[in-house]
Structures are given as structure tokens and as C-alpha cells.
Structure 1
């Protein structure tokens, strides 16, 4: 019996009774797959890391170009809105509060029947714009909640400004108070001079405001400094010595900022009056007849105040306004970082617009009349409600 027991132990695989080669086979089943899975897992980790790295770089570039485009377009929105104020709301409210009746006293008609308010007289002469919903004798119309501010000159007196002028439209001679008004209204010469002085002062000031804000706009958009500075600070890819050229891809993109500049004399126009004439009664005795019809002779030369004349209006041509409403394209190139797999993304993922990987933004300046009037809220119907819109 002991002999049999010893032979059994020698021939067996241990206490469990399994052969030794079976245990070795089981260990191999664990070890060999591990040798294959661990490298695959490491490759996956590297792939995840490299994907995260390039995605992070792209997200940073997209944020940088979105911010730069938004900030730069704000300059255009400011110009459009401020010009709309100068064209419509400012002169409307100023002259409404100064010459509406009340507080102004109406003037009697020479026929002895009826009267005429100075505010209505100036509007009918085409000297000032007025809201179409204006209420006679009331405070200036509140237009904040309206999507379209219908402020305009009298179309009969100023037909050249009924629509948006396609070019510069100056007025060599303008009748501030017409001959017909001078005959029919009991307007004394001294009062007429007062109206002329106030009118010229107001529009001279409006012209100074418009010229100043255009000058600032021109400087900001001449080299597109806001775009460059914003992109430089947010992208983190430009060296300090490259600051002046940082972001050039975005600026010089097809249908981008550089190819759609707004410039005075090209697609932006300021319109002026060179000379003003007015008529009024000159009393030869007291404030009652006899009198004769006086006329400013020679006409008042407005070029003595400004070589261009007396400012009237500033407009932007329809084409550029439509383009800005549809949006400008910004394609900004960037260099993809190197990676563990030595894949050249700068060639593999290059854009046609930049010759290297790029991010894109479409930036627009839109007003409530985008679809109805071709995005024109500058003139006519000057509505200062342009907003910057960013699209992917």
C-alpha cells in the first residue's frame, strides 16, 4: 500500500491532482493577453492625450478669433448707430423742443387768417427732419420700443434725401425760409436771423460730432488694431515681435474686414450745404406794416465755417450695409502642434483660405430692417439699433 501511494504522488500533479503542464497553460492564458492589451492601452492613452492637445489648441484659436471679430465689428456697429442718431433723433428732438408751439409762439399769417409754428415752417422748408408719428404740440415722439424710426425730411422740399443717396449729394444753395413763406408768414427779419443762427449752430455741432466719430472709426479700422490685439492676447501663439502681423489671416480673409472697409468718399458720404438764403419781412416802421420782403443778399456762405459747408446728413451706401448684414467671413490660420504619431496636421487639415489649419467665424452688424430694407437703418428711417451677431 505505501508503494502504491508513493507512485500515485509521483505520477500526479500535486495535491489537486492536476498535471503541471495544465497550471503552466493557465498562467500563459493570463500573461500573453496582458502583453497585448497593455501596449494597446498605452496607445489609446497617447491617442487620447494627443487628441485632447490638438482639440484644446483649436478651441483656444476659435475663442481668440471669435473675440477678435466681435470686438472689431463693434466699431462698425458704433459708427452706424451714432450716425443714425446724428441723422434723425438728435435734430428732430433739438428743433422740436426749441421751436414747437408751445413753448414757441405761433406766427400770424399775412392773410390775417391762421398761424404758423416756427417748427412747422422749418420742416416744410426741408430744413429739419421730423418723425412721421409726431404729435403737434406734444413732446418729441418716444421711439425706443419701435423697430423703425420713421424720421425724415419733407419729401417735396428735399427729394434728394427721400431715399438713400448713392453718392455725395451737396446742396449749393438752400432756402432755409422760402420766398413763399416769407410772403405768407408775418416773420420779422430779426427773428429770421435768430432761426438762421440757431440752425447753423446746431448743424455745425452735429457735423463736428459726425466728423469726430468717423475719424475715430477710421483710425480703429485702418490697421484693425482691435482685432490684432485681441487675437494676440487670446491665441497665445504669436510672439511679441509678431504683434503687428498677428491675426492677418483673419483680417485679409476673402469677404473679410479688409475687403469691406467703410471709407469716406467711397461708400460713406457726408452731405453739406454751401450757401443759405432766407426771406423775411423787414418793417420800415414799427412791428406793423409798412414793410418789404427782405432777402439775405449775398447768401450766407457756410464754407467760411467749414470748407465743406454746413453738415446735413451722413449716409452709407446700400451695398456695404447689405454685406455687413449678411456677415463677413473670418478665416484665421494656426499651426497645429506636433504629436507622438508624427501626423502632419498642418498639411492634412489645411484650409484653402489660409494654406494651413484654420478656424472660421462669420460676424455681422444687423439692424431690425435686415430683411425689409437691406439692413439699412442709417438713412432713411435712421434707427440706432444695430447689433453685433456672431455665427459659426
Structure 2
């Protein structure tokens, strides 16, 4: 936050600092904020009047008189509807778009189905349509939209708004200038932010989720792939080449015959992907014909949910498969713990449905890995968010940048 009340401080810095104090404190009077900020009541009142005109501060009525009596103070509060954010999460098979207020609460949402490897122009057009539809639905003047955020999968250059490589949209090619293309199609000067989706997800956990009071956070999304969002000392880590968090391609089993999607053997992702777990189950059917995995399914094909349920029901094969997954996860996550020393690791993706057995075994395995016992207070939790997490995090990121 900018310094307050020191010689040479910019008026804008003072204004933003006061606005952020009000935004984070609820309802306050001029006297209360004057005492908090160590600025004169006259200065605070001028700042309040400025933001009331801007629509970012509301008069919230009158407070209680002091014990000494006197006039009841006028109370002020931050106007959460003083601005709005449009955010879109590009899933492999859908676009999930939202309009939020300045508290990152979703006001309206839209889910648009897209085809596998949908063309770039089609995706852009659908985002523009979702933007216009949601803005009109909420009757929001476009000059009240403070920013647009797009969460994409793959390697993304945040600073330049370029999607370097998208594994789900190979037809796009490399180094797609997504930000410039979208800006041109929208014909607008609204600021646009584009980043790897997992970075918005870890930001959602920090500002609205389980890690709200934490400074060092890792979010892991596992399933068909594996990626991490990393915050260290309150800063999102992207790396020099936008590769920070591509943990799926760390080698954790150099002797493995498992070939990763990247072509290398023994990658973290290849050892814990749902494809591998399903294959192990299928190959074990002859040895474990009475396993609940196959009874839960009731079909010839099984799902990862069948394995999760069986492990939590005490099934031998289900537990064996999830023990294997927990073991490889423990090796990979232990490397992250020793590298980043996080306060908390939060699991996203399909594994949040794995249940008690998996997370219990994962915690046990990590506690047994060399040196990690030094950091026993590192929590490992399932996310409480659903599929909306990326859009919420993206909107929250835009708001955070706006009020810096």
C-alpha cells in the first residue's frame, strides 16, 4: 500500500490508500479513518467526497454518538457495485464467463459449450458474445468495467498477453497474441489480463478461499494433466520464461516406463494421471474380479470416481491404487515443500473428489519423506471451490491490480 501523509506523497497514492482502508474495513466514519490513517479529518473528508462522486464510496447513514454526546457521525462504506469485472475461464470443452462486482462476487454467469480443439476465431467470438450478453443482462455501462481477465491453459506470457502454447487447442499454433486479438474484436480500451488459469486459481484461494490469511501458497490441479499455481510472499510466481508451476514435467521416477504426453519418461504427471490409474485398475480386473471398483461401475468401462469410492469403502484394489497415487504425489509435493516452504498446499481438479482415504495417505506419506518433518505445519487441503474458482480468481486479480 502507498505511504500515507509523508512529504512528497502523491495525492493519488493517498486517495488509493484511504480507499483500500475503507474497502478492507467495512463501514467507517471520517474520524475513525483519520485516526487509522494518521491524516487530518479535512483530508479524509475531501478524499471521501472525491470517491462519492466517482461512485466508489457510499454514505452509509449515521453512526452512534460518543459517550460525550454530540452529533452522530456520518458513516461511509466502499461501494462494491462501483465497478465491475468480466472474467472468462477457457476450459477444453467450454467457456465459463462471469460478471462480478468489486468484491469478486458473481452477479451473472454464462457457460458456452465449445468443441475439442475449437478454432481461435470461434473462441474469441464466443468470448465477445458472452461479454456483451452479460454486460447487457446486468445493465452495466461499459465505462464501469474496470478490467477483463482471461484464464487459459498452457504456457502463457502474462506481460504481453500471449498464449505461447495451449495443449487443448493445438490448431491455434504457437505464440497467439490473444490479448491484442480480443482487444480489437471488443473495440475497447478496457484493460485485459491473460494468464495461465492455475495462477488465477491460486489467487482465488488467497483472497476468497482456504488460504485467505497465508502468504506462501501452492495450488495443485491434477487429473488428465498436472500443474501448480505458486504464491511466495504474496506474489504470484511466473518465472523468467513463464514456466513456473509446470510441475507435471518434473522427473520423479527416472526408471519408469511411463511415457508422459511431453514424450519423456518418469514425469510427475505421468505417474499420477487419471489415465494411468484407470489403466492399472483395468489390468487388475482378473486378479481382483470382486473389487468394488467394478461393482460400483456396473459397466464394462470404469471411471476415476469408481476408484475413489472403492478406496473410501475399504476395497483392497481401490486402496492399493490410491496408495500408489499418494506415494507419487508425496514425492512430487515434497520437492515443492522443500523448494518453496509453503504455508498450505491446496488440491484442485478431479482429485478433490478423492475423499478421506487419499488425503490421509498423502499427508502420511509426505510426513515420512526426508526433511519434510521439519515443516510439519504445512497444511494439505482440498479446495472448497467448484469449477467457478478460475473465474473468481481472475476477477479478484483484476480488482487487486485496479486498487494498487
TM-score in terms of structure 2 length: 0.22
Higher-Rg structure is 1
TM-score in terms of structure 1 length: 0.22
